[in-house]
Structure 1
């Protein structure tokens, strides 16, 4: 069973990187059950972007090996350039291969590293996406990254992400997805505090919906826009 509120290990990020490197094929298969929600909220994001100003740049935090939602985003706007970030080099290699096979190579740039360390100029992106990724950060770091998102978005830009419904200081599973090397960490401010965190980053919350997955884990899905 997972242990609740463990201390944050000093090597947290390297452990998550190592785990996702080892889990990459298993995770890619497992996550297919979550693709419908990713697609739903990518479509919602697209519906809130200004039709008179087609998006030119987007950022995906924790892109993994890409998937149907990312493909939908890129197909919807062929002139859009997507910066894909992930902490796992193995996931990024799979993502780059997938992008090339689907003909998205010219539309994508891949940036390896901890999302907390990313740096972009203000008002760079029309859209920022973070599916099942910010939840791997300690809670204070989630707040810091969402604050950066508020700065990175252009006026009228849209942010979509999900956060765990239940408030928890930290959660560790030693063998996530049944894998020997599947050590994993999550944390959450819970639904209301996560929504408030987005608002305090200067974003207007347009959608706030809770869904429970087949494993019984609840997530609040948030779509928010930077005021013009």
Structure 2
């Protein structure tokens, strides 16, 4: 998409201010809810748009999980190598990576999926379904009118001094996309974290 280079530049700039902003978003309650759904034993996580690896990848690794992180921003992955060295990282667009079927017990896309045009979400959900093992979970954040001001949105919004691309359809259409891909929505909760309100969605591959 034409926004790729602009997004990469924005995240390069955000990476430079990482230390000052790392404590703004407390996701522990969300992670606690997800871990309650997952098997007690360790597993394999794919973190799409992993950024610097905190807190998501780090939380999984601390519980004994193997984590593969994908991000298109080299500056963020450089931070991940420092902050979460146990995470295997791949420099790539989440729409272009390929993995074996049934390779992961969980997939996360935190503050990342909504930067991909929503017209491309159905195909990505289908691929995530294939990568998940039976009973595996997908956790992701999704933008809504509470954040963008529109029921459907494709455009740019300011974030920490940068302009980022956001894209979403309606929550009902999102549910339909997940179900069409074989992912059953379990939790769809509007949460405010760090002054931002997004949907936090957990879906299961049955």
What TM-score do you get using the length of structure 2 for normalisation? 0.88
Contact 1:165 1:210 in 2 (8 A): no
Instruction: Give the Cα–Cα distance (whole angstroms) in 2 for the partners of residues 198 and 27 of structure 1.
Output: 32
Residue 220 of structure 1 and its aligned partner are, at CA, apart by 1.2
Contact 1:150 1:203 in 2 (8 A): yes
After the TM superposition, which residues 9-28 of structure 1 pair with which residues of structure 2 at under 5 Å, given as runs? Answer: 10-26=1-17
Residue 212 of structure 1 and its aligned partner are, at CA, apart by 3.5
CA deviation digits over 1:78-113, x for unaligned, max 9? 2x210011110000000011113xxxx2xx210011
Instruction: Give the Cα–Cα distance (whole angstroms) in 2 for the partners of residues 187 and 121 of structure 1.
Output: 28
RMSD (Å), alpha carbons: 1.9
Q: Could you tell me which residue of structure 1 aligns to residue 154 of structure 2?
A: 170
After the TM superposition, which residues 1-228 of structure 1 pair with which residues of structure 2 at under 5 Å, given as runs? Answer: 10-26=1-17, 29-30=20-21, 32-34=23-25, 36=26, 38-51=27-40, 54-76=41-63, 78=64, 80-100=65-85, 105=86, 108-166=87-145, 167-173=151-157, 176-178=159-161, 182-213=162-193, 215=195, 217-227=196-206
Runs of 4+ in 1 over 4 A off after TM superposition: none
Q: Which structure is higher in helix share?
A: 1
CA deviation digits over 1:5-59, x for unaligned, max 9? xxxxx5311221121112213355435332x2x32222222211233xx343110
Does the C-alpha gap of structure 1 residues 27 and 146 become closer, same or farther in structure 2, counting only changes over 3 Å? farther
User: SS of the residue aligned with 2:160?
Assistant: helix
Indicate the structure whose relative CO is greater, using CA pairs within 8 Å and at least 6 residues apart.
1
Residue 138 of structure 1 and its aligned partner are, at CA, apart by 0.6
Contact 1:39 1:69 in 2 (8 A): no
What TM-score do you get using the length of structure 1 for normalisation? 0.80
